[in-house]
């Protein structure tokens, strides 16, 4: 962890008088400020602040550490700035956390272009389907696909992940047709365990709304209205590539990212289901520690990802 940054955070907390004010001043999430303070206390081996719901004050150890931090920051300010005019080109190591599928199928071409364009830059992938601690793992950028982003995180929306419900012809050949989302309750659905639920959300198109009204005799179901369908099955995984491979093997029906399924839909290895209904799309976000003093490598990488996700923009209408 960056001790210089931790020293800066500690000094700012003391100067501003609260964790929230320090987070706002540093343009950091509150959880990140708390983490830096915790790490500073671990390094010093002492509690640095007396904290209550209304105020905070320095402990004797905190007063001593504050003096050291001031001196450390003064020394750092004497180092000539490396971000002088003309030195805005990405360089150095950029650590990126993402899923296996994202690393292989989505980020790989962007990273190749990035490294070819900036010879002094390098990239390290931290491949995991779990949410990582950016500070503990020293991650510069984490790619997350979600509609429920933690409000304490600092993030930039990179693009959109549209979904498609699909299955292999071999699975469908021996089973009842899937004409309505409710039919999914009678099928083996392969799920992504990372999301922790067994509900698939759909939005009705004009035709789909009429079909559901006929099925449920519910006049309230209108075009664009969302509804959830409970699904279950005998297989789940925390990695989308594993679910995709199981779908290709004919194990069941899956809701897959459109960009992942598209090659197999085009080749006939998978078949699109429920084309009159639109599965819920998810946001693709780049999560990072702080907007302030953002390194050129991080800024350029996110700009490239926004452009790339824009070029990938597909929609379910192209599958009909």
Look at residue 182 in the predicted model and tell me its pLDDT: 92
In terms of Cβ atoms closer than 10 Å to its own Cβ (0-12, 13-18, 19+), residue 94 is buried
Dump pLDDT digits (tens) for 126-179.
Answer: 988 778 888 778 889 999 988 887 777 789 999 988 899 999 999 999 899 999
Look at residue 85 in the predicted model and tell me its pLDDT: 44
| CA–CA dist 237, 242 (Å, integer) | 7
Select the CATH number that applies to the domain covering 3-78 from these four: 2.60.40.3710, 1.20.1740.10, 3.30.1130.10, 1.10.10.10.
Answer: 1.10.10.10
Look at residue 156 in the predicted model and tell me its pLDDT: 93
Look at residue 220 in the predicted model and tell me its pLDDT: 38
Select the CATH number that applies to the domain covering 92-159+283-314 from these four: 1.20.1530.20, 3.40.190.10, 3.40.50.300, 3.30.2130.30.
Answer: 3.40.190.10
Look at residue 79 in the predicted model and tell me its pLDDT: 61
- Judged by average pLDDT, the poorest of 13-17, 20-24, 134-138 is 134-138
| CA–CA dist 22, 270 (Å, integer) | 52
pLDDT band at 224 (very low <50, low <70, confident <90, very high): low
Dump pLDDT digits (tens) for 282-303.
Answer: 889 999 987 766 788 999 999 9
Q: Residue 123's CB: how many other CB atoms inside 10 A?
A: 18
CATH C-level class of 163-280: alpha beta
Q: Domain boundaries in the chain?
A: 3-78, 92-159+283-314, 163-280
Residue reference for tokens 């209108």: 222
Mean predicted confidence (pLDDT) in 218-229: 61
pLDDT band at 316 (very low <50, low <70, confident <90, very high): very low
Look at residue 274 in the predicted model and tell me its pLDDT: 92
Q: Is the pLDDT of residue 207 over 60?
A: no
Look at residue 37 in the predicted model and tell me its pLDDT: 92
Look at residue 84 in the predicted model and tell me its pLDDT: 44
| CA–CA dist 20, 168 (Å, integer) | 51
Dump pLDDT digits (tens) for 261-287.
Answer: 999 999 999 999 998 898 988 889 999
Mean predicted confidence (pLDDT) in 242-249: 95
Look at residue 106 in the predicted model and tell me its pLDDT: 84
With beta carbons less than 8 A apart as the criterion, state whether 80 and 89 touch.
Answer: no
Dump pLDDT digits (tens) for 79-134.
Answer: 654 444 445 788 889 999 998 888 888 889 999 999 999 999 999 999 887 788 88
CA distances from 293 to 5, 35, 135, 180 (A): 11, 19, 16, 51
Q: Is the pLDDT of residue 216 over 50?
A: no
Dump pLDDT digits (tens) for 34-86.
Answer: 989 998 898 888 899 988 767 788 998 999 999 888 888 887 776 654 444 44
* Same fold for the pair 92-159+283-314 and 163-280: yes
* Residue 173 CB partners (closer than 8 Å, separation 6+): none
| CA–CA dist 181, 276 (Å, integer) | 10
């Amino acid at each position: 962890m960056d001790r210089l940054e931790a020293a800066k955070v500690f000094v700012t907390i003391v100067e501003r008088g609260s964790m929230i004010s320090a987070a706002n001043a540093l343009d950091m999430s509150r959880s990140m400020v708390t983490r830096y303070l915790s790490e500073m206390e671990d390094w010093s081996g002492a509690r640095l602040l007396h904290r209550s719901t209304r105020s905070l004050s320095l402990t004797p150890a905190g007063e001593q550490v504050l003096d050291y931090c001031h001196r450390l920051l003064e020394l750092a300010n004497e180092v000539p700035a490396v971000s002088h005019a003309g030195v805005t080109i990405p360089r150095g190591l950029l650590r990126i956390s993402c899923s296996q599928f994202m690393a292989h199928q989505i980020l790989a071409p962007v990273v190749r272009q990035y490294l070819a364009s900036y010879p002094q830059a390098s990239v390290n992938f931290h491949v995991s389907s779990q949410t990582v601690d950016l500070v503990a793992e020293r991650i510069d950028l984490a790619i997350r696909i979600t509609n429920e982003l933690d409000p304490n995180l600092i993030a930039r929306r990179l693009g959109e992940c549209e979904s498609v419900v699909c299955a292999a012809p071999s699975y469908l050949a021996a089973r009842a047709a899937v004409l309505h989302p409710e039919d999914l309750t009678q099928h083996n659905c392969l799920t992504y365990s990372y999301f922790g639920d067994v509900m698939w959300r759909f939005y009705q198109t004009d035709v789909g709304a009429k079909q559901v009204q006929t099925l449920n005799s519910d006049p309230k179901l209108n075009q664009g209205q969302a509804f959830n369908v409970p699904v279950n099955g005998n297989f789940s995984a925390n990695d989308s590539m594993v679910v995709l491979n199981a779908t290709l093997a004919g194990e069941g029906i899956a809701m897959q990212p459109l960009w992942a399924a598209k090659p197999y839909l085009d080749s006939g290895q998978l078949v699109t289901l429920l084309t009159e209904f639109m599965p819920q799309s998810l946001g693709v976000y780049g999560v990072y520690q702080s907007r302030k003093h953002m390194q050129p490598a991080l800024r350029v990488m996110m700009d490239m990802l926004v452009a790339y996700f824009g070029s990938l923009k597909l929609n379910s209408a192209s599958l009909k």
